[in-house]
Amino acid sequence: MAHNTTHRDQPDTTDAIDSTVENKRQRLNVVTQETRFVLIQNILSHPQQLPTLKELDYVNPSKSKSTIREHLEVLIEHGIVAERTLPKDQRKRDLPWRFYGLTDAGRELLEEMGLLGAEGTLQDMYEMLETTDEIEKYAQAPRPGNESKNEELTGSSALVAYIRDQKANTHSVGDQVSVATALYENGIEPDHDGLTRNEIAEQLAFEYSSRTVLNHLVDLDILEEFQPPGPSTYVISERRDQIINGEVEETVDEEIERLIDHMVAHMDDRIVPMDDGQPGDRVVIADGAGRTIRSILAEEFEVPSDDVESHLREGDRLTKLNRAVDAIEESEDIEKGDDYGRVIFRSPAYRYRLSEFGVSLAEDGLSVEG
């Protein structure tokens, strides 16, 4: 006799899964609404990632303060943003004490959406924002969580004491001390060639934006920011992966001819998606539907297909080369060859090293601590 093994008192996991999926869908809808998405970007871009309502109002001039408050309340209701306040004994007259930041659940959701990768870029953009004295005062005001960071920085070090005194209201005091100390310990002093921001970031784990941290130290005259001697710009061949100053025209001509050779060699090939196989798989066929390199470039430059070669060889060949490579790479129908590439101009990255003043602070600190 067959027995029914389903029991009425057994929990139904399907309902729980459906509920979880529905909650996630609701949160996605909340986050992707235009105004709320902008507010989340504002929070991520803020130096402390804890802006006040006044700061959010300042960077959103087209929205009323009441509208911003209403959308913040929606984000709070769905657990994406939390309101954080300073303890009463830490509140100061004329300084804000109520702030808005992402919750752990909010950060997890943004990470799943692939939005946290732009965090550094957003903070870099904030650094270029022109602010009033009042907004700057609000941005530098103490935030919840500053207490533990400041407690870690006790001691008699002249370097720590000076940074704390001058930048007491910044969240990144710990990062500033770490950078200055690390540069001193590694001999990155006034006679050194210096390190780029990326090189420093590779050696240290920053809690806050590396650009913000370095800007603070430059502002304090603890670090020197400078460009290395040499040309103000340099030219790079992407294919060769090397600087080509002095041979730009020859390289551009060579890359164009390589591109044309590749296009002609595959003039009859058409790349189309496979009916079967993994997503993104393509197959090259000799004839039939699909697009060629020639057709992509003809469309990009708005010239007849037969004129693509002559068009690439005339006029501003550098611009045409880079546009052609961009168009090929952006197309979902064509895979770029490895035998040609862009020719691009770059400015040398700023470099950083301790100033004489920074060295003196570090040495005073070490002599006191010793």
pLDDT in tens, 311-327: 999 999 999 999 999 88
Q: Domain 13-139 maps to which CATH number in 3.30.565.10, 3.40.50.300, 1.10.10.10, 2.40.50.140? A: 1.10.10.10
Query: Considering only CA atoms, which of 244, 263, 243, 237 is closest in space to residue 341?
Result: 237
- Considering the entire predicted model, what is its pTM? 0.44
Q: Same topology for domains 13-139 and 146-229+351-369, yes or no? A: yes
pLDDT surpassing 60 at residue 10: no
Q: What is the pLDDT of residues 149-164, one digit of tens each?
A: 444 444 336 877 888 8
| Long-range contacts of residues 27-31, Cβ cutoff 8 Å, at least 24 apart | 27/78, 27/79, 27/80, 27/109, 28/109, 28/113, 30/74, 30/75, 30/78, 30/80, 31/75, 31/80, 31/109, 31/110, 31/113
- Highest mean pLDDT: which range of 44-58, 228-242, 262-276, 325-339: 44-58
Query: Can you tell me the mean pLDDT for 176-204?
Result: 90
The pLDDT-based confidence of 103 (bands split at 50, 70, 90) is confident
Q: Give the pLDDT confidence of 107-149 residue by residue, as tens digits.
A: 888 888 777 767 777 777 777 788 888 888 888 888 886 444 4
* CATH entry, 146-229+351-369, from 1.10.10, 1.10.3470, 3.30.1370, 1.20.272: 1.10.10
> Could you state, in order of their start, the residue ranges of all structural domains in the chain?
13-139, 146-229+351-369, 234-346
Select, from the ranges 7-11, 84-88, 144-148, 274-278, the one with the highest average predicted confidence (pLDDT): 84-88
